[in-house]
Amino acid sequence: MKIGILTFTEGYNYGNKLQNYALLTYLKNNFSCEVKTVNNCIAQGSKLSKAILLLKWSVPSKKHYMYWKRLVRFKEFNKEYLNFTKEKLTNSSRKFTEVDCLVCGSDQIWNPNYYESINLLTGKLPSPKRSISYAASFGVSEIPQEKKKDFAEALKNLDAISVREKQGVAICNELGFAESRVNIDPTFLLSKSEWLKVVKKPNKKVPAKYVVTYFLGKIEEENEKLINNYCVKNNLTRIDLNSVNALEWFDITPFEFLYLINNSEFVFTDSFHASVFSIIFGKQFLTAERVSDDTNRMSSRIDTLFSTFSCKNHRMKTFDGNVDALKIDNVKVESIIQYEKNRTKEYFCKNSNGDRRVDFDEFPYLYKKKSCSGRIVP
């Protein structure tokens, strides 16, 4: 069987590339199948954000050069690690025969603020034999009223629905899909040791002791003060990983990103995946509420993550200064991850191939209830 992963393929977001790599690697290592990333035309971001980026790129500058350099390195990562299909899936495609099963996800592929049509991201267009989602994210707390009908129609194309956040289940329920389920983000499907095999030290002078800051939105003044005070108090250098005002680190690759997270003394972020890797690597971290111009709350993914791993003390807005409370219980984390990985394996066994029966003896503790299949009956 050939499986195709449908997620964002353009852009230069570390979390996006690493979740794509993780899901592809997990499926390839755990199932007898060929796994590819579906080459597609889907670009992450709203029309406004794309227009602003285009305007920035139209003015030659050092920042422009660093954007270009980072894009080049990400394209190299795509080519080496993500095994793209030869066919490119577009809104005008009439058939797509390179895969037997389409897996939509992970990441915010169903965020209504990112594009006008959801159809392409649910396999409605040239559908293969089977289409399911895995840990797909809406990225918002609710779907705008004017888009609910389109989403409801598009989701009918899926044979099973798996989402990343609890709020995603609530959205699916509202749209008429009562059997959706939550599954863990693909980055958790690879063990810490598996990630450490691929981390790569940047070809730059890395400070002996440092903190990492990785913010995709604006850093509030209060949080900026907290970060700077922590660095001064503990004599730590600050490495900004997503700031065009700190260009030295702007062009690092996804695996170099992991190296810097793993070897840091502390992580400050508003990023879901930076929080995820802080948990995986057992790093002390604080996560801020994302500051953006979007009025629709986008923190449901953090809510689910922190609920799953009992990270209530790791919110920057409620931090009381007790750093010891931020220590990660690695044994507990590993136990949770293993349980969730078993649920993931059960989900793919049952839904990636419509003719395959699940070995219930392999997952005995998952079947106390009969509602875990995730199978959608339109």
One domain for residues 225 and 285: yes
CA neighbours closer than 13 Å in the CB half-sphere of residue 174? 15
| Rounded average pLDDT over 319-340 | 95
pTM of this structure: 0.88
In this predicted structure, what is the pLDDT of residue 294?
52
Given a cut of 80, whether residue 301 has pLDDT beyond it is: yes
Number of domains within the chain: 2
**Taking a C-beta distance cutoff of 8 angstroms, is the pair 134, 106 a contact?**
yes
**Taking a C-beta distance cutoff of 8 angstroms, is the pair 332, 180 a contact?**
no
In this predicted structure, what is the pLDDT of residue 112?
87
Q: The domain spanning residue 311 has which CATH number?
A: 3.40.50
One domain for residues 168 and 184: yes
Is 229 domain-assigned?
yes
Is 92 domain-assigned?
yes
One domain for residues 147 and 242: no
One domain for residues 213 and 161: no
One domain for residues 22 and 117: yes
Higher pLDDT, 367 or 333: 333
One domain for residues 151 and 218: no
Integer distance in angstroms from the first to the last C-alpha of the chain?
A: 24
Confidence bin at 3 (pLDDT 50/70/90): very high
In this predicted structure, what is the pLDDT of residue 247?
84
Dump pLDDT digits (tens) for 197-216: 999 999 999 999 999 999 99
In this predicted structure, what is the pLDDT of residue 118?
64
CA 145/CA 79 separation, integer angstroms: 39
In this predicted structure, what is the pLDDT of residue 59?
56
Is 377 domain-assigned?
no
Percent of the chain scoring above 90 in pLDDT: 61
One domain for residues 113 and 262: no
One domain for residues 8 and 155: yes
Dump pLDDT digits (tens) for 350-374: 997 754 433 434 433 333 333 333 3
Is 372 domain-assigned?
no
Is 143 domain-assigned?
yes
| Rounded average pLDDT over 72-88 | 94
One domain for residues 186 and 200: no
| Rounded average pLDDT over 81-107 | 85
Is 376 domain-assigned?
no
Higher pLDDT, 97 or 136: 136
Domain around 107: 2-190+335-366
Is 373 domain-assigned?
no
One domain for residues 117 and 198: no
Percent of the chain scoring above 70 in pLDDT: 81
Dump pLDDT digits (tens) for 280-296: 999 999 999 987 655 44
One domain for residues 124 and 11: yes
Given a cut of 90, whether residue 99 has pLDDT beyond it is: no
Confidence bin at 16 (pLDDT 50/70/90): very high
Dump pLDDT digits (tens) for 237-295: 999 998 767 788 999 999 999 999 999 999 999 999 999 999 999 999 999 998 765 54
Mean of pLDDT over the chain: 85
One domain for residues 135 and 6: yes
Is 59 domain-assigned?
yes
CA 312/CA 285 separation, integer angstroms: 12
Confidence bin at 221 (pLDDT 50/70/90): very high
Please give the C-alpha separations between residue 240 and each of 9, 55, 149, in angstroms, as whole numbers.
24, 24, 41
Please give the C-alpha separations between residue 209 and each of 159, 204, 266, 330, in angstroms, as whole numbers.
49, 14, 10, 22
